Amino acid sequence: METLSENACFGGKQGVYRHTSAACNCDMTFGLFLPAEAQDGPVPVLWYLSGLTCTHENAMTKAGAQAWAAEQGIALIFPDTSPRGEGVADDEAYDLGQGAGFYVNATQEPWAPHFNMWDYIAEELPALITENFPIDPDRQSITGHSMGGHGALTLAMNLPGRYRSVSAFAPISNPTGADWGRKQLSAYLGDDEANWAKHDASLLMRDVGFQGPVLIDTGASDQFIDLLRPEELSQAIAQKRQQAVVRLQPGYDHSYFFVSTFMEDHVTFHAEHLWA
């Protein structure tokens, strides 16, 4: 693992690191914020999964999460959204290929050799981080924005017991029923829609739900709200009688101005359950 940068940040340290990924068959980069408490021993961790076109850097520099994480004494992990580099398949469209991994394990060509973001986020990167940094693997929560909100919700419901809480900012809530989802799931997983279900938060919520608390914020003025389909997830939560807070925020769009506005709420929400 290579250290690309380390900077003092709110009494802790914001680092950026690169390593060779076996899951993605290329070099991958991630950001990790450690609060001051990490100097004394392992700390809880909140995963932040970013959205379409993002790298590890977008939320790390725009979301304002470190201030609130430092206040709560928890670490933050900012993974990349896809494999990258020479020889990694890509597409001219912004919503497929590099920057658009969708947090799945691709089975179709040309994506299968590298696009294994599910295994990367669920298995490889957690093992790497707990081996090299003072992170408590028994105290993990997860959040994300847009495509990353989709990833956070689907990982949380597919990995029972892994995360103490889950939240999402403007998640792609029903990808099997929207253009943000059907295009990517077909490309990465093939045309058999039975293989898509484990990657749809609304379907998973109706089927299995989540064993802990859920918080979801979406901007009521989000320019992509018809692609996000928040109403499908809300209905599934009601049908499942899932413990959840679901909010539509008047006037807010899909940008990091929206994410940063409500970041304190989300970090505080997770800290309550990470330190319980």
SS3 107: coil
Given a contact cutoff of 8 angstroms between Cβ atoms, the answer to whether 232 and 203 are in contact is no
- Per the structure block, which two tokens stand in for 211? 């064993």
Q: Which of 150, 254, 266, 270 is catalytic?
A: 254
Rounded to whole angstroms, how far apart are CA atoms 245 and 254? 19
Q: In this structure, are residues 77 and 129 in contact, taking their beta carbons and an 8 Å threshold?
A: yes
Catalytic annotation, pick one of 146, 165, 202, 234:
146
53 φψ region: left (φ > 0), alpha (ψ -120 to 50), beta (else): left
Tell me, yes or no, if 146 is annotated catalytic.
yes
For this structure, is 222 an active site residue?
Answer: yes
Distance CA 79, CA 74 (A): 16
Region of 42 (left: φ > 0; alpha: ψ -120 to 50; beta: rest) is beta
Catalytic residue among 82, 145, 222, 234: 222
Provide CB contacts within 8 A for 135, sequence distance 6+: 42, 43, 45, 75, 129
Nearest CA to 222 out of 269, 259, 264 is that of 259
All residues at 6 or more sequence positions from 222 whose CB lies less than 8 Å from its CB, including other chains:
170, 228, 252, 253, 254, 258
CA distance 190 to 199: 13
Please say if 91 is a catalytic residue.
no
Q: Which amino acids are annotated catalytic? A: 146, 222, 254
